[in-house]
Amino acid sequence: MILVLPRLYLGNISDVEDVQHLQKTGITHILTVDSVQPDLSSFQTKFVNLLDDSSADILSCLPECLHFLKEALAMAESSVLVHCHAGVSRSAAVVVAYLMNTTSCTYEEAYRRLQDTKSDIRINEEFVNQLALFEAMGCEVDMSSASYKQYRLQKITEKYPELQKLPREVFALDPSSVTQTKEVLYRCRKCRRSLFRAESILNHSLGAGPVAFAHKRLPVLNSSDSAKCTSYFVEPVQWMEESLLGVMDGQLLCPRCHSKLGSFNWYGEQCSCGRWVTPAFQVHKNRVDEVKPFPICGR
């Protein structure tokens, strides 16, 4: 058990088995990030069920972990132990995230700082990638950001490879189920049915343009428009659910008039700008209209 910051310790499973030593050290709170929950009835605890492998989603667990640590350390007489089985990957990733969040440092800075204290830490590569996204979001988990939504969709394909069942939270609210809204909506150009909200668009950085399609031997255009996106890539919306279950790719049709809007592919598709998007739920811009709320004077 290593002291990382005043009243914040990092350890492993053997540390939590020595209750007398924990009490002597002044530990009052224990955060367990492991696949097995230890019996720690003498302490205030938080258990996060997580494996140490490439499919594990530690990023989505960080808000509850950080909240637990901050609440515990806000108490003057409390001390906290963060542990996993070996104390080198999962628990280390949480402590690194805590350092990033509370000191606004980069992942590299937080990692080096922790490694100076505990030289044997080895955070697995997938967790490192997730902490890089955590850093890009300002050292917090912004569940409304396009980057996080895209990340969660990628994790869904890993967790449900057959796609026979998808959690309800994957699907954004169907805007047609809301009678009044002040949000920007996108409607089917043919029948005017509301399809998705502006916040459901998952923006991406522009790709290399025509160069990215050289393997297809397409003519290279001189116009700067050739590198622009001709589709919106969106998060799945409730009306898409029936089409997405059990298949890896297919067409996206308007739920009212059944006109073709675009396509989807859980493995990903290439945008017209050249950027590869995974997974991809693509609606062609020329099949929808943007509808902005109309301000009413005096209201």
Contact 71, 28 (CB under 8 A): no
Distance of CA 135 to the CA centre of its chain: 12
Contact 241, 166 (CB under 8 A): yes
Distance of CA 141 to the CA centre of its chain: 8
Measure the CA–CA gap between 146 and 140, rounded to whole angstroms: 14
In the annotation, is 84 catalytic?
yes
Measure the CA–CA gap between 126 and 273, rounded to whole angstroms: 28
Q: What is the DSSP string of 125-192?
A: HHHHHHHHHHHHTTSS--TTSHHHHHHHHHHHHHH-TT-S---GGGSBP-GGG-S---S-EEEETTT-
Given the residues 61, 65, 84, 273, the one annotated as active site: 84
Q: Which residues participate in catalysis according to the annotation? A: 84
